[in-house]
Amino acid sequence: MGTWDIGHFDNDTAADFGGTLDDAPPGKREALLRDALTAVTGTGPGEYLDGDEAAVAVAAAALIAAQCPGGKPVTTPYGPDEPLPPLAPELRALAVSALDRVVGAESELPELWADAGADGLWAAGITELREVLARAAG
């Protein structure tokens, strides 16, 4: 995975996901977000989570959080250019579960950030994202 910064879309995989969302018909974008999250939450507790799947789930969670109270808009040029429709509220809890899986022991992404020496900064960004989503999910 090519990564150039700490942001949720600052890697090749997440940037490609932003393009995929732009290419999808507006009515299919929510399903793409849901699929990205369920790809992560659907793995078993002992299964190793690939870094690319985790990066897409983080990007999806960031887009969902952007529609929550206190959420930050996704303004990076690597995210989708096309606006997302209002998203179903139940995606918030699914995004929380996905983020919990992404930071878990059987996930490649925390290892990659630790190897780069930026795991603290990355984890802080994930924690902030999770808090916004958890508050909005109730």
What confidence score (pLDDT) does residue 23 get? 96
What confidence score (pLDDT) does residue 3 get? 81
What confidence score (pLDDT) does residue 6 get? 85
Residue ranges of the domains in the chain? Answer: 12-137
What CA–CA distance (Å, rounded) separates 14 from 24?
15
What are the tens digits of pLDDT across the range 84-101? 999 999 999 999 999 999
